[in-house]
Structure 1
Amino acid sequence: MYAAEALKMEEPGRIEPSASLSARDFGRLSRFIYDTCGIKMPDVKKTMLEARLQKRLRSLGMHSFTDYCDFLFSQEGLDRELVPMLDMVTTNKTDFFREPDHFHYLTQAVLPEWVKRHPIGTLAIWSAGCSSGEEPYTLAMVLSEFAARNPGFDFKILATDISTRVLDKAKTAIYNESQVEPVAIELKKKYLLRSKDRASGMVRIVPELRAKVNFRRLNFMDDDFGMREPLDIIFCRNVIIYFDRPTQERLLQRFHRNMKPGSYIFMGHSETLSGLDVPLVSVYPTVYRKPR
């Protein structure tokens, strides 16, 4: 039954009760989410999962999570519903210049050394788990400023996320003024365009910066990330905290395979590689390097 048909059957003024997520259906969904994208879904997340997926039930005109699970696990459901479901499940929290000491270390230590080894060249950097684009656009600003001081230096940024919803927002590069508060005023003047409707309070990243970032969807559970060449730097911050330790280790080993010797990976300040079997060396708080 679809939503339009269901509404015809409801009595005037009657509010359709929300479906509840049974322990059985939660178990089916949590196992599927873990197998599909590696995200842990312990029992304490049941209420959160139920609230987020209510939107999908309403969109599909379904009245029970059992019907939703049966549809999701069918071939038609996998084709049509997998991506929208993951969009609802994934958590997306980011800011411009989040954890600013990382950008200081990048410009003061990592980039000068890279330029010495590559007087003319293009730095390849990956924002893994880019959410709505604040991190890759922050990187584009920082790298553009460095390029202005270092002729011959160029860069390209790959930005990926599993959520098509946040990727669509990232590609538009439109933010409200409160979101860009962490950006220094001189960078705002160079890299942000204000809306013609000043009352809207919206700004947009300039086209020159947008052109430096390539967005695409990527699932960390894929065996092949589709990288055409190894990377110089990876920013994967506040992402692996959603995975269990075995999944973290497998993911970081995949990262390692896609890194050049001597390249860097920046992790979130609440994350650590301690105890993981990954051949990366700590060089700065939550910054690791692949040995040459």
Structure 2
Amino acid sequence: MTSALGSSSSRDSGALVTGEFAFSAANFREIADIAKAEAGIDLPQSKATLVYSRLAKRLRARGIATFTDYCATVRADADERGSMIAALTTNVTRFFREPHHFEHLRTKIVEPLAERARRGDRVRLWSAACSTGQEPYSMALTVLSAIPNAASLDVRILATDLNPHVVAHGKKGQYQKEEVRDVPADLRSKWFEPVPGDSRGAMLKISDEVRSLVSFRELNLMGTWPFNGPFDAIFCRNVVIYFDRDTQSMIWSRLARLLRDDGALYIGHSERMSGPASASLSSDGITSYRKKGGKPS
């Protein structure tokens, strides 16, 4: 019944995208406005086909016949708003993605902090868009390669994402064997183990010691951040590309304020630092920045 209604409506001359469900310019604008208000996501109309293809799955899952009805549901239902934002965001990640960042983290941040950590001082890192956990676990493995007893020290990694489904995946810490192929062999053999009960042997689980270093939380970067730092390093990669320029500048400034002096900020390969934060950060390698002594204006 849903498909029949959708197919009939899609022939409406006002459809922005032709398909199973009618998708008008007004529908797109409403979805784009909600995405901007909820998560800072900037959706130009050139993304209409992508928005349609991702959200059509939500209409099928909910048994909703039209995008007009779906917009009404999203307005009234906070859970569906969250599901919509999750559907619109891309979760492309892998272990040790952009390996130069992890080399920088090890040699420029973690190794110099090792003695401080052994004295009992606090060391904090943040993966600000952790997706399914490969990034914060790569950070943890990098820490352990320099400080083997880090789990017994005051060393912790905060891992956050606005998508509750990927946060739950990260907490579980289980990955297909092919997903861990980029983990160096020595780290893979030391810190990964077969998943109990997996008769096919296709899954590997990160050891409890590594998992103990990482705390996963849901967090919308556009909302309140319920922590004060300071962080010794922050990874915020391939996130602000979804934001307009003003929002990008705001996020960079908020991140810079939470960095310890000389702390590192790592951003995505296609992202560029901008706005007031530029005054407090200096380039220190490919898409890697260090906090100067002052604060961003």
Whether the 8 Å CA contact 2:133–2:171 is kept in 1: the answer is: yes
Q: Is the 8 A contact 1:147 1:154 kept in 2?
A: no
Equivalent position SS for 2:42: coil
Question: Who is 1:241 aligned against?
Answer: 241
> Which residue is 1:64 aligned to?
66
Superposed CA offset, 1:162-209 (max 9, x none): 111111111111111111000111111111111343524111111111
Indicate the residue corresponding to 1:26 in structure 2: 28
Shift of 1:51: 1.2
Amino acid at match of 2:93: T
Task: Indicate the residue corresponding to 1:214 in structure 2.
Answer: 215
Q: What's the offset of the Cα at 1:251?
A: 0.7
Aligned mate of 2:45, from 31, 43, 46: 43
Q: Percent identity?
A: 35
Deviations 1:229-263 (A, max 9, x none): 32111011111111121110011111122222221
Alpha-carbon distance in 2 for matches of 1:269, 1:40: 19
Q: Distance in 1 between matches of 2:69 and 2:150?
A: 59
Aligned mates of 1:151, 1:89 — CA distance in 2: 35
Q: CA deviation at 1:42?
A: 1.2
**How many angstroms apart in 1 are the aligned matches of 2:51 and 2:201?**
33
Indicate conservation of the 8 Å contact 2:282/2:290, yes or no: yes
Contact 1:127 1:158 (C-alpha < 8 Å) held by counterparts: yes
**Closer/same/farther in 2, CA of residues 188 and 23 from structure 1, 3 Å limit:** same
Matched residue, 2:135: 135
For 2:206, the equivalent position in structure 1 comes to: 205
d(CA) in 2 for partners of 1:260, 1:177 = 36
Deviations 1:55-80 (A, max 9, x none): 21122221000011122113xx2x33
Letter in 2 for 1:213: V
Separation in 2 of the partners of 1:252 and 1:244? 12
User: Structure 1 unaligned runs (5+)?
Assistant: 1-5
Q: What is the CA distance between 1:113 and its match in structure 2?
A: 2.8
- Matching residue's letter, 2:183: V
Give unpaired runs (5+ residues) of structure 2: 8-19
Give the 3-state SS of the residue equivalent to 1:125 in structure 2.
strand
Offset, 1:128: 0.7
1:166 aligns to 2:166 (yes or no): yes
Tell me, what secondary structure is at the counterpart of 2:227? Answer: coil
Give how far 1:152 is off: 8.7
Distance 1:264 1:39 in 2: 25
Aligned to 1:276: 275
Q: TM-score if structure 2 supplies the norm length?
A: 0.86
Is residue 123–residue 156 contact of structure 2 (8 Å, CA) maintained in 1? yes
8 Å CA contact retained: 1:227, 1:258: no
Q: How many residues align?
A: 277
Structure 1 198/181 Cα, relative in aligned 2: closer, same or farther at 3 Å?
A: farther
Query: Which one-letter code corresponds to 1:85 in the other structure?
Result: M
Aligned match of 1:3: none
SS at match of 1:220: coil
Letter in 2 for 1:136: P
Q: Distance in 2 between matches of 1:277 and 1:125?
A: 23
1:98 aligns with 2:109: no
Q: Any idea what SS the aligned residue of 2:169 has?
A: helix
The equivalent residue for 1:181 is 181
**Is 1:133–1:170's contact at 8 Å kept on the other side of the alignment?**
yes
By how many angstroms is 1:277 displaced? 2.1
Amino acid at match of 1:55: K
Tell me: CA distance 1:151–1:191, structure 2 relative to 1, closer, same or farther (3 Å). closer
In the alignment, the residues of structure 2 paired with residue 128 and residue 89 of structure 1 have an alpha-carbon distance, to the nearest angstrom, of 18
Match for 1:220: what amino acid? L
Tell me how far 1:149 sits from its aligned partner. 8.1
Q: Are the structure 2 counterparts of residues 30 and 151 from structure 1 closer, same or farther at C-alpha, using a change threshold of 3 Å? A: closer
1:82 aligns with 2:84: no
Does 191-200 or 155-164 show the bigger shift?
191-200
- State the secondary structure of the residue aligned to 1:126: strand
